Every structure is written in structure tokens, then in C-alpha cells.
Structure 1
Amino acid sequence: MLSDMIKKEFIQLELEVTDWEEAIRQSAAPLLNLGKITDEYVEKIIETTRTVGPYIVVTKHVALPHAPTQYGALDLAMGITTLKTPVISGNKTNDPVKYLFCMSAKDSETHLESMAELVNLLSDKEFYQVLDSAKEPQEILTYIYEKE
């Protein structure tokens, strides 16, 4: 399923951002620009993070920006963003954040299935090496295809 969600156009490498909010906006930009999510979806992620705290930080150095479907998840998609300089999210256990996986799913079943696949990938130390060394988005996609 991840290979259905992640397209080369959704992968951004070594982005420079100033803070966690810009990191969220930048990680969501390809999905927004290609009609997979709405502006409201991005704003809901940021609003919820401000209100609830860094709920999107799921493990060491990894954030999964997402919001409930009704706020503008238009199609199944996942972006991958790596940051040149990690940012502080406020999650003391898992900061700083270096990798963002912005996700959009149109229903909760798809959301849970894609999360399970992502968890498997995030437990693979080699995947982080690929994220850190990739010069082109296709290198990451190839790794994901091989793992499926």
C-alpha cells in the first residue's frame, strides 16, 4: 500500500526550515499542490499540534503530520520529507524531528493499514540510512518497493 501512496513528486530531500510549523507546511506542500489535501487540512494539523502538543511525533526523529479526514483529506497519499537541520517539536523524548511523513487517507481503515506498513518501515534501521543518503527521491521509492 505505501508504494500506492508515495509518489516521486511527494518526496523532498534535505529541506531547510526554521521551525516545526514550517516543517509541517513544507512536508504537506506536495500533497496540497497535487490536490491530495486542502489548505484546511494543513491548518488543522498545525492547530491541533498547538492545542494538544506534538501528537504527530511518533518515534525518535519522526513526525507523521495528519489530521482527521473530514478536514480535507481528498485522496490517499503520503509524502516523505527529510530536513537538512532537524527541528524541535516539543516532544522531549523524540526530538529533534528530521523526517516527516505527511499522510492523507480518505477513511479510517486505509489510515490504519498505511500506518501499520509505515511502522514496519520505521522499525528498519536501513531505511533511515536510505533517507539520509538519498540524492534522488527514486532511491527511497526503490527501497520501499523492494521491501513490499
Structure 2
Amino acid sequence: MKKDMIFKELIQLDWEVKDQGEFFDKMVDKLYALGYVKDTYKEAIKTREANYPTALPVEPFPVAIPHADMIHIIKPFIACTRLKNPVDWCEMANNDVIHPVKFVFMLGFMKSDEHIDLLQVLVENFQDPALMDRLVHAKTEDEYYEIVCGMKGMEI
């Protein structure tokens, strides 16, 4: 995972959304306004998530890692969001299981092979209860940013 894909302007703490659809609308609008994604991204991310859900059943908090094809990306990014209240999200590779997701790490890649290593690093980090506890209790976007940038495997 690369620190150079994480931007403070894409850290959101305690966002209030009623469901996954509202999260995508709100996050993609922000990504588009800031020049990270093309106008095709919103439909692409919603379609991809419906077909290939991304919630990871890690303890203590399930995490979603939605992403779409690189043709919809202008600038690579990792948008890190902590939701105020968990929203239902289908489990990766299992649409029949739903998890209450509190953390969403939306990913934008420019290279086709970039996501495999990144996903492995994220999954490993999300299984660390101490790290997740720090993310839960971060008070500011700056603090959250520092925690994410300090995750194992974040070297540039």
C-alpha cells in the first residue's frame, strides 16, 4: 500500500449516511468534485459492488473496500471513511451475508495489478484489534490520517 494514495481531503470521520447507496452518492460526488474520478465512476462503483461485494468480516469491525475499474479513475486514491453509524454491506464473495460496516476504504487504481497487494495489506491491518481501536477513537482527520499512513505495509 502506498502513502502517496492517501490524501487528507479524502478522510471523512463520522459521516452520517442511511445506507450504502447514500454513502456512494456522497463519496463519489466528493471524489468527482476534487478531480479523482470521471463522471462514469458512480454508476461503475454501484454496479461493481452489486456484483462483487466488498465487506470483509474482520473483527472487531467489518470493513468495506469498494473499488471500480481503472478506466473510471483520474488520480489514484484511498478514501478513508469512518461512518457515524454502521450500514449494511454484503460480504465479499457472499451476497447472502450482510455485515454492519463502520469503516469504508474506497480505492482508486491506475494500474491493473496495483490492487492485489493493496488489498492484502489492508486485510492484514484490519485484523489488528489495536489498530481498529485507534481508528475508532481518532478525534480528528489529521489523527486518522496519521494512523492510516502508519499501518504496516504503507511504505512508498
Match of 1:116 among 112, 115, 120: 120
Match of 2:56 among 52, 58, 70: 58
Is the contact between residue 49 and residue 66 of structure 2 (CA under 8 Å) also seen in structure 1?
Answer: no
Give, as a single letter, the amino acid of the residue that structure 2 aligns with 1:97: V
C-alpha root-mean-square deviation of aligned residues, in Å?
2.0
Is the contact between residue 6 and residue 78 of structure 1 (CA under 8 Å) also seen in structure 2?
Answer: yes
Partner of 2:4: 4
Structure 1: 4+ residue segments shifted above 6 A: none
Give, as a single letter, the amino acid of the residue that structure 1 aligns with 2:120: A
Structure 2 Cα separation of the partners of residues 94 and 127 of structure 1: 23
Give, as a single letter, the amino acid of the residue that structure 1 aligns with 2:55: V
Q: Deviations over 1:53-93 (max 9, x none)?
A: x61213342111211112x1122100011111111124464
* Runs of 5+ unmatched residues, structure 2: none
Structure 2 Cα separation of the partners of residues 48 and 110 of structure 1: 18
What is the aligned length?
A: 145
Q: Give 1 or 2: higher helix fraction.
A: 1
Partner of 1:31: 31
Aligned pairs for 1:44-123 (under 5 A) are 44-50=44-50, 52=51, 55-60=53-58, 61-70=62-71, 72-91=72-91, 93=97, 95-123=99-127
Between the two proteins, what is the percent identity of the paired residues? 30
Structure 2 Cα separation of the partners of residues 64 and 19 of structure 1: 15
TM-score (normalised: structure 2)? 0.81
Structure 1 Cα separation of the partners of residues 90 and 146 of structure 2: 33
